[in-house]
Amino acid sequence: MTDSADFWNKIAETYARKPVEDPEAFGRKIEITRSRMRPQDVILDIGCGTGSLALRLAPFAAEVHGLDISREMIRIATEKAQTQHVANVRFHVGTFDERFTEFAPATLDGICAYSILHLVDDRAATLARIFRLLKPGGFFISSTVCLRESWVPFAPILTVMRWLGKAPAVSLFTRRTLEAELRDAGFTGISAPDVGAKPMIAFFVAAKPA
């Protein structure tokens, strides 16, 4: 995990300047996420990067927390929150595993995982941890690139890119695999709203049974 943190630390400034690749799809994802939120909610954004999603969600919740392994990403996110005078967002540096003890089980109203599930070491363990942290009836929303949906041979390409320091470790899987993993973790009400994203992007909305 250390090498992944180093990778994101190095590109944080460049990443922060890069515009959203598909702003219309991103906007639709945010609207769907907001529709699940209530003013009293406490929300966690896993893999928050420079805080773009967390800051967009902040006006619609009591608290929004962002977590990322990159200290540089979190530094930029914190600066953005200060510049925008957003007081109900907190950013944390760390990994989403047993060492992240900010929240007790069944204490979060919603968890977001945008562009992160293909980067975690153990997806099943991550989904199980998300499930445990949610309150009964809490929601989980993910947006994940599923590279197995493409005919492009991404495995050798990504291996070379990682060797050159141009990419982090990435898992390749299909949207069908991810949907099955969500069910295995205990989530129900799983849906995949069409947000107009690229075919390889799987956008799922799910819930922990009430």
Instruction: Parse the chain into domains and list their residue ranges.
Output: 2-147+174-207
* % of the chain surpassing 90 pLDDT: 79
Please answer whether residues 125 and 196 qualify as being in contact, where contact means their C-beta atoms are separated by less than 8 angstroms: no
With bands split at pLDDT 50, 70 and 90, how would you rate the model's confidence at 98? confident
Strands 201-207 and 108-114, bridge-based pairing: unpaired
Tell me the two tokens of residue 173: 């899987």
Q: CA 109, CA 14: separation in Å to the nearest integer? A: 32
Q: CA 63, CA 4: separation in Å to the nearest integer? A: 28
Q: CA 111, CA 185: separation in Å to the nearest integer? A: 14
CATH placement of domain 2-147+174-207: 3.40.50.150
Radius of gyration of the chain (CA): 16
pLDDT the model gives residue 33: 97
pLDDT the model gives residue 118: 93
pLDDT the model gives residue 178: 97
Q: Quick: pLDDT tens for 140-184.
A: 999 999 987 766 666 666 666 667 676 678 888 999 999 999 999
Whether residue 14 is predicted with pLDDT greater than 60 in this model: the reply is: yes
With bands split at pLDDT 50, 70 and 90, how would you rate the model's confidence at 102? very high
Whether pTM > 0.85 for this model: the answer is yes
